[in-house]
Amino acid sequence: MNKIGVVFDLDGVIVDTAKYHFLVWKNLANTLNIEFTEAHNELLKGVSRVRSLEILLNIGNVTLPEDTKQDILIKKNEDYLEYIKEMNADEILPGVNKLLNELDNKNIEYVLGSASKNAPLILKQVGLLHRFKAIVDGNSVSKAKPDPEVFLIGAEKLNLKPECCIVFEDAIAGIEAANAANMMSVGVGDEETLSEANFNFNNLTEIPTHFFDEIISE
Ligand code: BG6
Ligand code: MG
């Protein structure tokens, strides 16, 4: 393979915002009397805010009128932003800076492919916004992961065919989206949870030095 590019998910791959999403959903679940576990939370990872609420309500078998759902979604984001506005570069996940430097050195371009509508703000907070060739996020897609749309737009931004793109993801929905896009999928996190990925690592510090060279030489 001559030229490759990378599409990074944001939450749980670049920054540890997955924990803030969980805290806020957990709190909202409590107010709705819905039991919400870490296992349930895996189903919310990678999917849009609107879809997350649908999944949460399904878990609790709760039906709510449309305007109440809208109010909950607004509150979800307000509470989440309270955490985000306190973020700084310390919350960049281990191995990220080294990996981005390595990609820069190898002239491998990378874009962001996230479901989050807060992606530019979060990247700005941690000082990484300028490093990505393009940002594809929840504001630029009409279909959320596991639909491949976000990653296919990412490939266009990289001027590469999908099969030349490598996706780094921490969510089941994200791995499904990458596979559906015909890209190489790298699961970051629990190998059992992300068993559909082509490659698995616990975190980005585990990526071997020759990982990209080997893919290029294939
Ligand atoms: C994804 C997260 O990256 O973004 C999901 O994994 C989240 O948990 C989704 O629901 C949407 O994020 P936001 O910031 O637009 O609410
Ligand atoms: Mg994620």
Q: pLDDT per residue over 113-128, tens digit each?
A: 999 999 999 999 999 9
Residue 1: predicted pLDDT: 72
- Measured from the alpha carbon of residue 170, the closest ligand is 2
Residue 149: predicted pLDDT: 98
For the segment 138-166, the average pLDDT, to the nearest whole number, is: 96
Pocket of ligand 1 contains residue 117 by CB under 6 Å: yes
70 has pLDDT over 80: yes
CA 116, 118, 123, 125 dihedral sign is negative
Whether 208 and 99 have beta carbons less than 8 Å apart is answered as no
Residue 4: predicted pLDDT: 97
Q: How far does the centroid of ligand 2 lie from the alpha carbon of residue 140, in Å?
A: 17
209 has pLDDT over 90: no
Pocket of ligand 1 contains residue 154 by CB under 6 Å: no
Percentage of residues in the chain having pLDDT higher than 70: 100
Residue 17: predicted pLDDT: 95
Question: Is 11 tagged catalytic?
Answer: yes
180 has pLDDT over 80: yes
Reported as a single tens digit per residue, the pLDDT across 77-134 is 999 999 999 999 999 999 999 999 999 999 999 999 999 999 999 999 999 999 999 9
Least-confidence region, from 2-11, 114-123, 209-218: 209-218
pTM comes to: 0.95
The CA distance from 174 to 187, in Å, is: 9
Question: Is 137 tagged catalytic?
Answer: no
The CA distance from 27 to 105, in Å, is: 43
Pocket of ligand 1 contains residue 49 by CB under 6 Å: yes
Pocket of ligand 1 contains residue 189 by CB under 6 Å: no
2 has pLDDT over 90: no
Non-local CB neighbours of 160 within 8 Å, separated by 6+ positions? 3, 4, 5
pLDDT band for position 66 (cuts 50, 70, 90): very high
Reported as a single tens digit per residue, the pLDDT across 16-39 is 999 999 999 999 999 999 999 999
Q: How far does the centroid of ligand 2 lie from the alpha carbon of residue 58, in Å?
A: 21
Which pair of structure tokens corresponds to residue 202?
């616990």
Distances (CA, A) of 76 to 65, 70, 211, 213, 216: 17, 10, 38, 42, 42
The CA distance from 177 to 145, in Å, is: 6
> Side by side, which strands form the sheet with 109-113?
135-136, 109-113, 5-8, 165-169, 184-188, 199-201
Percentage of residues in the chain having pLDDT higher than 90: 96
For the segment 169-181, the average pLDDT, to the nearest whole number, is: 97
Burial of residue 157 (number of CB atoms within 10 Å: 0-12, 13-18, 19+): buried
Q: Which atom of ligand 1 is nearest to the CA of 114?
A: 3
- Measured from the alpha carbon of residue 45, the closest ligand is 1
Protein residue whose Cα sits closest to atom 2 of ligand 1:
46
